[in-house]
């Protein structure tokens, strides 16, 4: 065993035109002098936004340097063979005090061709939602590219978007190519591929503090959009206490939910992957062979791949998301 242990990181705060105050009022994270906070990046390997360790003997070290030093011990041998010194997942909280832009993300092939980057497949777990909160995932009818363009060019894009009313604990999986936006009143956790590439399709004609509209990516988005129609976009799952419930499993990550009010043991020896825990409610202590680390609502933690067996001890009860590379 190396000197690795369960790692917490300094939160990276992002001021956004649509951001609000829930990062502070609900997640208890102080974003200082920013007028608002639309996103926090909790675990990030995105260049220019590399996470820095805030606990234990590796405090002050960044995720990139740890990956270069510990390689498969940190992320798993199969993960390291596939991704090398690029950490493959990005974990965020998003507070939509206003509607985000209607947008789409490219898949791996298009992102590699255009940006030398990963694509962006993601999932959302709704942390909290106001009474009238909604979001968009996909289209509300079958469409061809030509039909989509007719609606778009006629200013009728909103007519073809699938809009769902949402509440806490709802889950959405958004493969690259799916048109989407997060609606006003949603506070959510996002697990995604490491990518910061977004094609903005429509931004509700709003302007920033200088009176400027944000750039749209109309032409770029066309090649990225998946026009497939689905009757149901929300992920259906059954909340089972004191066991792992799978929410999403795709080529890039698997995410489980654990809703527990008693001690639960987790054996990750067959995963050959790091595991990320995000605490959505309550508090717990993560116990491992060499020690323990507390977690509370709004915190994320990176469990190195070489730590295979842990226990999660509730302080009353907790809800956590558990994610790893599939």
For the stretch 124-169, pLDDT in tens is 999 999 999 999 999 999 999 999 999 999 999 999 999 999 999 9
Assess contact for 201 and 155: CB atoms under 8 A.
no
Measured CA to CA, the distance from residue 278 to residue 110 in angstroms comes to 30
In order of their start, the domains of the chain are 12-222 (2.60.120.10), 244-324 (2.60.120.10)
> H-type helices in the chain, by residue range?
22-25, 63-70, 72-75, 77-83, 108-115, 145-153, 218-222
Contacts of 315 (CB under 8 A, 6+ apart): 282, 283, 284, 285
For the stretch 73-95, pLDDT in tens is 999 999 999 999 999 999 999 99
Measured CA to CA, the distance from residue 179 to residue 243 in angstroms comes to 33
Assess contact for 181 and 158: CB atoms under 8 A.
no
Measured CA to CA, the distance from residue 214 to residue 219 in angstroms comes to 15
The conformation of residue 36, written as its DSSP 8-state character, comes to: -
The confidence score (pLDDT) of residue 108 equals: 96
The confidence score (pLDDT) of residue 209 equals: 79
287-319 core/surface letters (b: 16 or more CB in 10 A; e: else): bbeeeebebebbbbbbbbbbbbebebbbeeebb
The confidence score (pLDDT) of residue 275 equals: 98
The confidence score (pLDDT) of residue 326 equals: 87
The confidence score (pLDDT) of residue 210 equals: 85
> Which of the residues 114, 141, 200, 238 is marked catalytic?
200
| pLDDT higher than threshold 90 for residue 106 | yes
Measured CA to CA, the distance from residue 54 to residue 87 in angstroms comes to 18
- DSSP letters for 66-77: HHHHHTHHHH-H
Q: Is 141 a catalytic residue?
A: no
- To the nearest whole number, what is the mean pLDDT of the chain? 97
For the stretch 212-223, pLDDT in tens is 888 999 999 999
Q: Residue range 12-34: average pLDDT? A: 96
- Tell me how far CA of residue 151 lies from CA of 145, 212, 216, in angstroms: 10, 25, 17
């Amino acid at each position: 065993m190396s000197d690795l242990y369960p790692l917490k990181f300094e939160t990276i705060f992002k001021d956004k035109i649509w951001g609000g105050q829930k990062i502070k009022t609900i997640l208890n994270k102080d974003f200082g002098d920013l007028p608002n906070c639309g996103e926090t990046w909790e675990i990030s390997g995105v260049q220019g936004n590399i996470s820095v360790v805030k606990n234990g003997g590796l405090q002050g070290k960044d995720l990139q340097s740890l990956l270069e030093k510990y390689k498969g011990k940190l992320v798993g041998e199969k993960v390291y063979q596939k991704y090398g010194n690029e950490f493959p997942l990005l974990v965020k909280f998003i507070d939509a005090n206003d509607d985000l832009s209607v947008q789409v993300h490219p898949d791996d092939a298009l992102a590699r061709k255009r940006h030398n980057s990963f694509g962006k497949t993601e999932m959302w777990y709704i942390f909290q939602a106001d009474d009238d909160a909604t979001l968009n995932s996909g289209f509300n009818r079958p469409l061809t590219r030509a039909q989509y363009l007719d609606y778009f060019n006629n200013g009728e894009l909103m007519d073809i978007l699938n809009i769902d009313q949402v509440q806490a604990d709802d889950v959405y999986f958004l493969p690259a190519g799916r048109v989407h936006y997060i609606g006003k009143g949603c506070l959510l956790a996002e697990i995604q591929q490491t990518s910061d590439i977004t094609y903005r399709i429509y931004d509700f004609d709003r302007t920033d503090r200088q009176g400027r509209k944000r750039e749209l990516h109309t032409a770029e988005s066309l090649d990225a959009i998946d026009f497939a129609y689905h009757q149901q976009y929300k992920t259906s799952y059954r909340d089972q206490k004191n066991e792992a419930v799978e929410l999403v499993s795709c080529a890039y990550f698997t995410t489980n939910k654990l809703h527990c009010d008693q001690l639960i043991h987790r054996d990750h020896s067959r995963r050959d992957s790091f595991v990320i825990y995000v605490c959505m409610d309550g508090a717990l202590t993560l116990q491992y062979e060499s020690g323990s680390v507390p977690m509370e609502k709004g915190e994320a933690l990176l469990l190195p791949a070489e730590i295979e067996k842990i226990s999660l001890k509730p302080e009353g009860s907790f809800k956590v998301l558990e994610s790893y590379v599939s």
